[in-house]
A and B are shown apart, each in its own frame.
Chain A
Amino acid sequence: MSRLLEALAIGALTAALGLPAWSQGKFPSVGRDATPKEVAAWDIDVRPDFKGLPAGSGSVDQGQDLWEAHCATCHGIFGESNAVFNPLVGGTTADDIKTGHVATLKRLDFPGRTTFMKVPTISTIWDYIHRAMPWDNPKSLAPNDVYALTAYLLNLANIVPADFTLSDKNIGEVQQKMPNRNGMTTQHAMWPGNEFGAGKVKPDTQATACMKNCGGPTPEITSELPEHARNVWGNLREQNRTVGPQRGADTSKPEGKLGDAAGPVNVVGPAGNDSPNAKAFALTQELGCTGCHNMDGKLVGPGFTDVAKKYAGKTDYLEGKIKAGGSGVWGETPMPPQNIPDADLKTIAEWLAAGAGK
């Protein structure tokens, strides 16, 4: 059969069988069917009804070992640390487990909100650990590891006992003990679909556009930044354009008088490129390195790219050399020891060791 006839025959067959239009579609040759293995590789979400949850199990004890190896550096041994991220556990009670409402959320004197004070669904915890943790090595945990870590957290939150083993079989029972399982409402007007409160609930503020003599006689200032916070965000003078109807306030010194703003404005940053390389390079400018070092080729000292070539990968050596200074490697002009912050030193040494890219 010729190709044309074949095509016609298939077309006729499709029409005769009433196959839906998507089977060949408006856009032939665009996209393809996903294989079952491809879908399995990416379809990792776990819903509140546990659809998507792989079979498996893990104990609190196993979880503790994994926790100390992979999680404690950021979250603390007991999930309580707020050094890097918000605390995970704390603030819930045995009574909350009964009611499904975390009572401390009503307390104005209890500012902290831990993950277990908020999360209504255990599926959320399982799904998130599985997809995104550990923070620097996500998707490295096997399902049983995730069960174990979830069990450990549940134990820290006093939801399950220390000898508990969490599995796909009993996770539904655990759900019934989540301290804030009844703590969510969808009765609001901020869902853009037809479900929940949509159409039934009005926006919660019903402001009107008063135009004349609104409010009291004189506005009263109820909140402003304290004077000592004036320069916390850096000099705001250098965070505004150098021309226009106003300038940034010079927060490096006390407030001036009207008219002072029209003085000189320092331009602080390279516009346009703020890639890590550009930042490292900007640092070399900020610290004065570019007074002696060019990007390529010798200036007073060797070019950055030449240094990078000679000491590729040798971050530690470069750190030491920048700190100590010296002469003889690139010529007799000595480089003085550099007293710069350790973090900056490291950034520059790493940038050089990685090739001094632009």
Chain B
Amino acid sequence: MTDLQPQPAPASQPRGLVRKAPENFLDRASVREVESHGIQGRRGFIRGAFAAAMAGGAVLHATAQPADSGDGDPAILKLPKHSTSLGQPVAAHPYGLPSKYEGNVQRRQSPGLTQTNQASVSFAPIQSLLGIVTPSGLHFERHHQGWWDIDPQQHRFMINGLVKTPKVFTMDDLMRLPAVSRFHFIECGANTGMNWGNVAVPTAQYTHGMLSCCEYTGVPLITLLEMAGADLKKGKFILAEGADGSSMTRTIPIELVTSGQVLVAYGQNGEMLRPENGYPLRLVVPGVQGVSWVKYLRRVELGDMPYATKDEAVHYIDLIPDGQHRQYTSIQECKSVISTPSGGQVLLDKGFYSISGLAWSGRGKIKRVDVSVDGGRNWRTARLETPVLDKCLTRFNIDWVWDGKSTIVQSRAMDETGYVQPTYKQLRAVRGSRSIYHNNAVQSWLVQENGEVKNVQVA
């Protein structure tokens, strides 16, 4: 693969895209737009839209391109409406929404993965995300018994167990205390679980989308434990418990708490937590699988032994070939994935691409990411985009000139402890292929000659 040789530009560059009319001429964004203009405006708009629909030429999502006269790109030569007329007023959307053209960027369920919608997963569209922050509305979801939008004035947080005085805090109390804000990744222990035995899903959204990264704001749990007079000599473990129907419980080692890393968080990306992510209070346990980041957090108990809760004695345990299960496996080990290009996408043409993806480690910072464009035979070190933060997603990119030949692209991350992300062969050699959780193997994407990218595994 001569991936650094420049390619000649294609003879005919596409100038713009002609998009077909959508099925529904009034989408939600348009309805809002209309509503914001009042009754008269709405009627006028609808009459107009109807007329266009009846004429069979309604175009919402893009303007049909006039024919190229030979003088240049009509998108330049013919001034568009947005350059020649008045735009919309301020606060038309008091809580802003993404562009209507971004409607395909959504979290999604994987068909057939779960039988119920309340004990289920929606995957973040990581193939379309930029940088390291997951927009709150695209954060992946994992609920065990449905989600709630809990009145924060009625929410209480209790600390008990090996403490001098069990304490109760209201949200008012918690938000009065000195806050910290930190960026961390959260990854479900089952992320990439569908790839353990063989390829079972097509896109990065479904292979790696139980992954998100936000700025979290809250109070270090140690502050609250100290207020309750915690016995940190005897208390080696905490139990975190949720207020929802499942009242999720997980055991967390006290070291993560005393080091100040574990947060009782109410903020997410500058706003309060989203209901789907635990509003008004959740635990943040950096580097540890998402199930420990208990949502709707109602209680923390300090104890002297681990609790063997349902999600650490029946689920989130790792079956190894000798028939034993590893219990209390919590750290999300170093991992990476190329998100662009990735499975289910099609490259537009031969030529230059910036391969880009995400790397993370539950043991600290990302030190290096290598990328192969020949199925793992040769590797080059990628650029790390800043910031590079502790137990946080790190964005990498590397230049690639695609010669149009079929090939396999991969990324391989290394963290500051020196741990190197394993291949499937290396991972299965120690854990077999019947595991569900903690699959951090190198991901392979096959780029075919027709530009289509597919999820594959290689030897």
Chain A residues in the interface with B (C-beta under 8 A): 20, 22-23, 25-27, 30-34, 38-39, 42-45, 47-49, 83-85, 101-103, 105-106, 108, 111, 113, 115, 118-121, 123-124, 127-128, 131-132, 135, 138-139, 180, 183-196, 203-205, 207-225, 229-230, 232-234, 236, 238-249, 251, 255-274, 278, 281-282, 285-286, 288, 290-291, 294-295, 297, 299
Contact = CB atoms under 8 A, between A and B. Distances in A.
A84 B344 contact: no
Given A33-B167, A255-B450, A271-B103, A188 B329 contact: yes
A245 B347 contact: yes
A25 B227 contact: yes
A223 B456 contact: yes
Contact of A45 (B249, B347, B414, B423): B249
Given A31-B227, A190-B333, A273-B28, A185 B438 contact: no
B142 to A, nearest CB: 15
B229 interface: yes
A47 B306 CA distance: 8
Contact of A274 (B106, B203, B319, B404): B106
27 contacts: A34-B167, A42-B158, A42-B298, A85-B119, A118-B325, A124-B308, A132-B247, A139-B245, A190-B329, A192-B256, A193-B256, A212-B379, A213-B378, A215-B376, A222-B457, A230-B202, A233-B203, A236-B202, A240-B127, A242-B19, A243-B101, A258-B347, A264-B19, A272-B98, A272-B137, A273-B28, A291-B53
B198 interface: yes
A273 B138 CA distance: 10
Interface centre among B159, B317, B455 (most CB of A within 10 A): B317
A60 B229 CA distance: 44
B270 to A, nearest CB: 16
Interface string B190-222: 000000001111110110000000000000000
Nearest to A47: B307
Chain B, interface size category, equals 35 or more
Interface in B53-108: 53, 61-62, 97-108
Contacts of A208: 420
A318 to B, nearest CB: 21
Contact of A113 (B319, B344, B377, B408): B319
Given A22-B227, A33-B166, A43 B299 contact: yes
A241 B102 contact: yes
B179 interface: no
B328 A191 contact: yes
Contacts of B42: 294
A47 B310 contact: no
Given A118-B314, A195-B236, A224-B456, A299 B169 contact: no
A239 B108 contact: yes
Nearest to B349: A259
Interface string B360-383: 001000001010001111111000
A30 B176 contact: yes
Nearest to B64: A264
A207 B425 CA distance: 10
A84 to B, nearest CB: 5
Contacts of B454: 224-225
Given A33-B168, A185-B325, A258-B404, A127 B61 contact: no
B160 interface: yes
Contacts of A249: 344-346, 452-453
A180 B323 CA distance: 10
B239 interface: yes
B151 interface: no
Given A184-B313, A190-B326, A215-B376, 6 more contacts: A20-B229, A22-B165, A84-B115, A127-B310, A258-B349, A274-B106
Nearest to B313: A124
B236 A193 contact: yes
A219 B377 contact: yes
B9 interface: no
Contact of B128 (A32, A221, A240): A240
B353 interface: yes
B419 A203 contact: yes
Contacts of A49: 305
Given A183-B323, A212-B378, A245-B354, A239 B104 contact: yes
B388 interface: no
B227 A266 contact: no
B449 interface: yes
Given A31-B167, A105-B319, A236-B203, A271 B347 contact: no
Given A119-B314, A132-B145, A190-B326, A213 B246 contact: no
Contacts of B377: 213-215, 217, 219
Contacts of B359: none
Contact of A193 (B164, B255, B350): B255
A194 B254 CA distance: 9
Interface centre among A189, A241, A297, A299 (most CB of B within 10 A): A241
A188 B241 CA distance: 25
A267 B305 contact: no
Contact of B330 (A111, A191, A238, A264): A191
A30 B177 contact: yes
A105 B323 contact: yes
B234 interface: no
A210 B378 CA distance: 8
Contact of A295 (B31, B303, B370, B379): B31
Contacts of B98: 271-272
B232 to A, nearest CB: 12
A128 B315 CA distance: 12
B329 A193 contact: no
Contacts of B422: 205, 207
Nearest to B135: A272
Interface centre among A121, A127, A265, A267 (most CB of B within 10 A): A267
